[in-house]
Structure 1
Amino acid sequence: MRTEEHSMRAFDASPMPAYGVPDAQHPRALRAEHRVEVAPHLPSFEFSVSGLARSDQFAAWHDTFAPILELTEINDSTSEFHGAQVLWDLGSLVFAQIITDELAFTSLPGHVRREPLDHWAITLLLSGRNRTDSERRTFSGGPGEVQIHPFGRPFAGDISKSEMLMLFVPRDFSHETAVALSSAELSKLGTGMGSLFSDYLIGVANRLPLLTQDDLPGLVAATRAMILACVSPSTENIEDAAEPITGVLLERARKIVQTHLFDPRLGVELVRRELGVSRTRLYNLFEPFGGVMHYIQHRRLLGAHSALADSDDHRLILRIAEEHGFSDGAEFSRAFKREFGYSPSEVRKGGQGAVPLPRDRSLVECAAGERLSVLLRRLQG
């Protein structure tokens, strides 16, 4: 068994998102005269049982969870057991991405616990299902559902072949989160706020490889606010979590736009209705992008640009314009040139083959010191 510390590499044969950037883009690969001081990336630790002898694979996986859980293999007749994880050290929190084959689990009674751990695990299943039995209740979970398990309480259960995200929260993280998690432990968050927290965890997983130590205090503060807002959703807690909630809502709104991009009914009301917010809230969300309709037009123009640049797509420019919501060819040409600085026919002729990066007006207009945060928000799209 071998555990290694890496900042930006993923373990082999994992379906998790790619971690890191090519070496040529890393500051270490730059010539000395071009180097700039950058904060170190957040430390991550990877482990996989791949490559071990079959007789050792589950034992190694078992040992990684030994301080908190007793694991039992359900099917030991398979030719291989799969288990892999990436752990992110967030200082006062630990974030994990885990892939595992089916197994049974039992929490450890206090008198046999290997370590004095009394944390909560907030788990989001991305695939698979699990069941948990406790003294008070039995509950099961599936993809998209957030569950809360306390390692200081007795419970047992089983899990199928699964991929999951886990956030480990110590009891001394804050008094407020301890109260909130205690009231919700051994259950799943089935409310709309629970769904928001699910999206938040996925967003954290996607952005962690890009963050540095300088980003850590803000990430921890946002996570604390989201726990309070989603587990114990009082008015005050929701107000404190306004910024991360806005990020989650914006990501949802973008997905709605992309799903209905070719729908002629796509507009403010459709997005507002599917997102479940007021018109004022929706306008505030899209204000940095010039408004809802401007964002919709921008996405449609990007789609049209891709089609025009495709050498295998021989449709008339007007037909592509109509598919992307423009019934008037002249208006399409004017909007296209305003957005990209050249005409649709120039793209079709091969003069502008590459799809341009989205022009985020807030990035152009904001102060230089604020551009990093704008770029990070844009990575959600």
Structure 2
Amino acid sequence: MLDREAENGILVGGPRSSLPSYHLSTAGLCRGEQFDLWHDNFAPMLDLADITPGTSTFTGRQKLWDLGSLVLAEINTDSHAFSSLPGRVRRDPVDHWTMTVLLKGKIRTKTKRYAFGGGLGEVQIHSLGRSFEGMVAEESKMLMLFVPRDLSVETAATLSSAEFSTLATGMGRLFSDYLVDVARRLPMLAQADLPSLTAATRAMILACVSPSTGHVEAAEGPIANLLLERARRLINNQLLDPRLGSEMVRKELGVSRTRLYNLFEPFGGVMHYIQHRRLLSAYAALTDPSDRRLIFQIGEERGFGDGAEFGRAFKRTFGCSPSEVRNRDGGGIRVRSDLADCPSVERLGVLLRRLQG
């Protein structure tokens, strides 16, 4: 069964309803279809490779919680290789940090500068917008927290200084215990608790994450991340300015064209990133019931001088036309109440793109 819909709905256990969880399982499929499903589930953020094709089964189970400003996943998986997606032009670039607590098994990661793993109960930090590869070497179980770069300036600086490392400190273990406890208690929480949970998690990240020694010695990574954060804030603040482009961003950052290209290469270039953010902004406008402007006016405000060009770019990104989004309750990227109706293999991608927006 791909879905376990009885568990996807809101569980009622008293006067308040708990948060729903969303399930994916490879059970009930033939061996090739099992890995294909698992691969497609992670395709928005990773490229997975099957390293044990001769085995009779590939077991993968995933439980997702939509925490509003964060996403938490509980993952059980057999062995596989993984690699990040930078270097190719992606339709929907996903760039978050992941904070992974390994509960069983083994994970090993390599970057251009570092190779690292972690013991059971230790937190590993990855950046989905950077180049890396690795392997889940055994049958493994993990909790994975997805943290958007826009959560706060402080968390961005903190996680930038520690990405691609293992938190093998006492405070790192404290964060691991916190995340395990959050997963255990989520069935007792309701939607109204999410702002408090986000604030508590942000405070724990700031308190428990410290720069890795290697990153202190090699400052290039953190410097690049800080420049990227400045660029992202500039683009968000000037998103509707018709003058916004690579030259404006370059001058504001005070960097060379080559440096700017290297910063945004994982996103297909700075102009691709700007267009993607503008399309996300257009999507929000089209689903806003108080915004009744004509569709071409919304596109024109975001730099699309031609309505047909806007429509084509929008459909490439979201899989549906601007008019379909406007006329459909909730639109093409499903609102939270519709997530249970989304195909199970697409839910992780939907949630990650929502964090991106």
TM-score range, shorter chain: 0.5 to 0.7
Aligned residue in 2 for 1:190: 168
Q: How does 1:192-231 map to 2 (within 5 A)?
A: 192-231=170-209
Name 1:86's counterpart in structure 2: 63
* One-letter amino acid matched to 1:92: S
Identity of aligned residues (%): 60
How much has 1:114 moved relative to structure 2? 4.6
Match of 1:161 among 122, 139, 143: 139
Cα 1:73/1:139, change in 2 over 3 Å = same
TM-score by length of 2: 0.56
Unaligned runs of 5+ in 1: 10-18, 28-37, 234-381
Task: Label 1:100 to 1:213 Cα distance change in 2 as closer, same or farther (>3 A).
Answer: same
Q: How does 1:1-381 map to 2 (within 5 A)?
A: 2-3=2-3, 26-27=13-14, 38-159=15-136, 160-232=138-210
- C-alpha distance 152-47 of structure 1, shift in aligned 2 (>3 A): same
Give the number of aligned pairs.
Answer: 210
1:358 counterpart residue number:
none
- Structure 2: distance between partners of 1:165 and 1:80: 23
The DSSP-based 3-state class of the residue aligned with 1:78 is coil
- Aligned residue for 1:125, secondary structure, equals strand
In the alignment, what sits opposite 1:259? none
**Which stretches in structure 2 are left out of the alignment for 5+ residues?**
212-357
Specify the SS of the correspondent of 1:115. coil
How far 1:115 moved relative to its partner?
2.2
Contact 2:62-2:75 within 8 A present in 1 as well: yes
Distance in 2, matches of 1:143 and 1:226, equals 20
Whether the 8 Å CA contact 1:105–1:156 is kept in 2: the answer is yes
Give distance in 1, aligned partners of 2:39 and 2:173.
Answer: 31
Superposed displacement of residue 88, structure 1:
0.1
Q: How much does 1:216 deviate? A: 1.3
Instruction: Select the structure with the greater relative contact order (CA < 8 A; seq sep ≥ 6).
Output: 2
Equivalent position of 2:249 in the other structure = none
| Inter-partner Cα distance in structure 2 for 1:82 and 1:114 | 29
Contact 1:99 1:162 in 2 (8 A): yes
CA contact (8 A) 1:85 1:98 kept: yes
- Evaluate the alpha carbon distance shift between residue 7 and residue 226 of structure 1 in structure 2; reply closer, same or farther with a 3 A threshold: farther
Contact 1:133 1:139 in 2 (8 A): yes
Amino acid at match of 2:70: L
Residue 203 of structure 1, CA deviation: 0.3
The Cα shift of 1:5 comes to: 5.7
Deviations 1:154-211 (A, max 9, x none): 0000012100000000100111101000000000101110010110011011101111
SS in structure 1 opposite 2:161? helix
> Does structure 1 conserve the Cα–Cα contact (< 8 Å) formed by 2:8 and 2:22?
no
Q: Which residue matches 2:259?
A: none
Partner-residue secondary structure (3-state), 2:144: strand
Structure 1-normalised TM-score?
0.52
